Amino acid sequence: MTSSEPAMRCRVLIADDDAMNRLVAVESLKYLECQADAVSTGTEALDALEAHPFDLVLMDVHMPDLTGIEATLELRRREAASGRARMPVIALTASATAKDQQACMDAGMDGVLTKPFRIEQLQSLIEQWCPPR
């Protein structure tokens, strides 16, 4: 980063199998002055979390190979085994039922953002989970 580039507020990993959803999330996060990396599967999300430091994960619930719930369960298992700090994971889902949201929380997710989301909702999550540096 050069001295003329603004400091990013936080680094967010987006895991979503839909290319348009990834694009919307990446551009929304850039607007909110966050660095955004995107992957399309739960396995890729776990690999990215092992390879790079992130402040927050936005995890689609319904993805091929590993669902967001399965990926989060595996992340929590790895954190417990290694003693790493807990990574905040927010579920991205089109399903807003209480049962579906409870399944996300039971898997170790920290919140739910329903799709389509508004920029204000995303901003609120960033303010909650990524305090200014």
Domains of the chain, residue spans: 11-125
Q: What mean pLDDT comes out for the span 60-79?
A: 95
pTM: 0.91
* CATH number belonging to the domain at 11-125, selected among 3.40.50.2300, 2.130.10.30, 3.40.50.80, 3.40.1390.10: 3.40.50.2300
CA torsion 6-44-54-32 (nearest 10°) is: 40
Confidence class for position 133, pLDDT limits 50, 70, 90: low
How many other β-carbons are positioned within 10 Å of the β-carbon of residue 58? 28
Tens of pLDDT, residues 6-65: 567 899 999 999 999 999 999 999 999 999 999 999 999 999 999 999 999 999 999 989
Mean pLDDT of the chain: 91
| Tally of CB atoms within 10 A around 51 | 9
Residue type, position 14, single letter: I
**The pLDDT of residue 7:** 60
Better-scored residue on pLDDT, 19 or 100: 19
β-sheet bridge partners, residue 89: 57
Using CA atoms, how far apart are residues 66 and 70, in angstroms rounded to an integer?
6
What integer pLDDT is reported at residue 69 of this predicted model?
Answer: 96
